[in-house]
Structures are given as structure tokens and as C-alpha cells.
Structure 1
Amino acid sequence: MTDAPQGWTALVLAGQRPGVDRLAAHFGREAKALIPVAGEPMLARVVRALADAPQIARIIIMAQDASALVADPAVAKAAGDTRIDARRSGRTISGSVLDAVNDPAIGLPVLVTTADNVMLTPATVAEFLAAAGAGDVGVAMVERGNLERAVGSNRRTWLTFRDGAFTGANLFALTGTSAVNALRFWERVEQDRKSVPRLAAHFGPLLMVQLLLRRLTLADAIAAAGRKLGASAAPLLLSDGRMGVDVDKPEDHALAERLLADGRA
């Protein structure tokens, strides 16, 4: 594995599972990544935020048919930057990221985000990357009170620990070489991510019991999970509470449009 170009490579995960995506169909689109939010496809908005961040040296859009996404006029305008490329994704998310990291032309460090991470801004990218690097893997999180102060009471997937409740922000930093171990491990367990008993079989019952009984802080839990994955890992808390909002359902879309309209005002 060779060094990446000076700066970070950003991988934007823009694929979707086989079959009809319900949210895309709801908005009359074939691809979820092309659903417009505040008048702009989600993918174009995320790519523009990354392109405006000086820390990012390269942006790679990853999807089953990435070239078709880039051909969309609004995305093509954002993708006119020579730093932006498209790459066909593989069978699994973690496997696709692993393939990219193992590509000598890419390497580390890598920032990973998703096409529906529409609240992403260059300022958040800078904040996140400034905090990354202490371990092999950095995971962006938003504290519940911070999110609710920014957007109001909101239904999210909350992970509750001894020091509070948190939600993910679809932003990951892969910096150390052992991040490859984490990706290989997660590729094996990815299909079981929504089943607590199956995850327990991979991570071990002791860690799962500690998590269920809320005996660990967020940092302790991420570190312990990282050790199971064979890499050092740490949570990186973001100051922008809106970063806990992604677009998975129509009510998320309505909230994102309201937040973006408020931001313009």
C-alpha cells in the first residue's frame, strides 16, 4: 500500500441495495442519491461540501453504477472538478471501501461518508479531520442534547451509554494501517449488523452485555469494539448537531429541507 496524495481521499458511498429503493420511488427517482434536497441532488450537495474543504485532495463517488450518477446534470456540474472520480462499488459496503484502501493509487488516509449526508459542510469536514488521527479509525458522533438543540425533538437511532445518548453522523476517518483489519472484520459481520444476538456472536457476549447494561462510556465502547476489530478506534464528537440528520425516510427529507432553508435565511 502506498501513500495517498497529499491530503485526504473522500469516498462517497452512493449505492443502494438490490431492488426498488422506497425513498427514491417516493420522489420519482431511480437512485436515492439523486433525490433533490433544497433543489439539489443529495449527492451533488455532499460532493460540493467535500470539494470546498481544502483538506480533501480527491473525491471518489462509489456506487453500483457510479458513472450514471455522475452523468446527472446537477451532479456532473459538481463533478467537473478534476479531483472527482467515479468507481464501481463491490458486493458489500465494507468490501468496497477495503478495495479502495488497498488500491495503491488511493491508500490512506481516507474519509468515508454517504450521499445522504446532506448537512455536511466544509467546516464540519475540517473539524472532523482535525480530530482524526489519534487511532486507526475515527467515528463521527452527535450527542443527543446537541442534536435536539439544533433541530428539535427527533426520532433517531440512539445509542445509549453511561455518559449519554449518541447517534452516528455517517462520517468515518481511516488513518492507520490497522483500519484494514476493521474493514475485513466488518465485511464478515455486516449482514448481521441489525441482529443483537448475531453481533454478540462476533463481538463476544461480555462486550454485548456491557453495552446493553450501559456500563461503558461511548469512548470505552468504541475502543473495545475497535480491539475486537483489530484496530484502535475512537469517537469524534461533532459540534454541529444537525450532522445527526441524514435522509432515510420522507420525514427526514422534510426536516433536511427545513434546516437548509433556515441556514440560508
Structure 2
Amino acid sequence: MRQLWTDLTRLNRAERAWLVGFSLLVLAATCYFSATGTDWNSSYSIVLNWLISPISAISGVFCVVLVAKGLISNWVWGLLSCACYGLVAWTSGYYGDWLLNWFYFVPSQFFVWWCWKTQLNSDTQLVRMRSLGKHSLWLTPLVLLSIGLTGWFLTQVDGFLSTALARNSMIYQQLAGYTGFALTGPLLDASTVVFQVAAQLLMIRFFAAQWTFWLLTNLLNILAWSVVLLTTADSAPYAVPTLLMWIAFFINSVYGAINWSRGAVQQK
């Protein structure tokens, strides 16, 4: 707990103002949309709309701001955010994001702590940032191949998951109707999964190139959650805070890319 507070005090005034402003925006959106959009006869709906969704959004932004700054306590906020966001993704039918958050991001937070604690600058307590260099030559084709394979995998398991979990996920069909391409949904889901896996691995190993993949991830998720709002009438109480979270992630990714690029140059 002491480390959490200490790292928050290392943020500058603008960063703290950004966190406070976003938190208030999420709470306002939660109150506005959940007041009329919650099924008050369902404890699941109440907890999802009034607790899980806003906690996911607020803790997620705390996490990415601390990552952009290079502060190690980001892993605690990331652990909380991933646990909550996985449930929101499952509820919305984004099974790729659900699997990714619960079975990849949650355990990976401990690797963030383990790796970062050995690479902190003794004076600033910021992680030592570095450039990817020639490794980008093989990383890009590997990411593209992984997207194709993951998209194919999701087309195979989506029907099984929908039946096994008693979920009525129509998001893939709706995306296919908008684009005229049957694989739009699986490829969108696969892209967000692969980009996030690549970004997290680069983040664990202190590479500034992570922010390219975070930017792509955030853009795709802004699109994906906009589709949820347009196609699912009762999704607003949990989808609006989530969409705001991804917009905040995108803005923060721009800041993170600038900050880490400078940090990598200084470290070199």
C-alpha cells in the first residue's frame, strides 16, 4: 500500500488532474446510465453496472498512466482492472478479450512486478526504458501471422462457448452484416488479443515499442465497444464506462509513446 501511494505522489500535477477528471467522468456516466439501465431485480446487473464496470475503467486508467510514467505499482491497478474487465467482456460476448484478461493479463501482472523491480533507476524509481531495434524485423510478421491463426481459432470455438456458457452472442454476425465480410468479428477480436499480448510482453521487458501495439489495440477497442452500444440496447450502463476507458487509454498511449521514446533515447 505504501508503494501505491508513493508512486502516485511521483505523478506531476497534470497527470494527477487527468486521473481525477477521468474518474469523475466515469462516475458521472455510471450514475446517469445505470440509474435507468439497471435491472434492479438482478443482483448481477446491479453489481456489473454500479461496481465492476466503473472499477474496471478507473483502475485501468490508473494502471496505464503509471505504465506511461514508468512506475512499478502499475501492476496492482492492472490486476484489479483485468479481473473486472474480463467479466465485462464476457457479458458483452467478446470472448477473446475475456480469455485474454483472465488467463493472460491477470497472471502477467506478477511478471511485471518481478521483472520491473530489478530494472528501476535508484534515483527516480522509474523503470529503465529501451528501444526494440532490429527485433522489429521479425516481430511484425509474427504478429500478423498470429492474428490470422487466432481469428481462425475464434471462429471454431465461438459456437462452443456460446452454447456452453448459455450466452447469446450476436456481435460477430452484426459486424459481418455491416462489412459484408464474415471474418470481420473474429479478426477484430483476434487483432485486439494479439496486439495486447505483444504489447504486454514488450512492456514486461521495458521496450518503448509496446506503445505502437497499445495504440492499435485502443483504436480497435473503441470501434468494438461503439458497436456494442449501437447493437445492444441495454448495454449502456456497462458499455459507456468501458468505452470511455478505451478512449482514455488511447490518449494515454500517445503520452506513453512520447515519454518512453524519450526515456529509451536517454537510456541509450
Greater radius of gyration (CA): 2
Q: Same fold (TM over 0.5)?
A: no
TM-score calculated relative to the size of structure 2? 0.32
Structure with greater helix percent: 2
Task: Return the TM-score normalized by structure 1.
Answer: 0.32
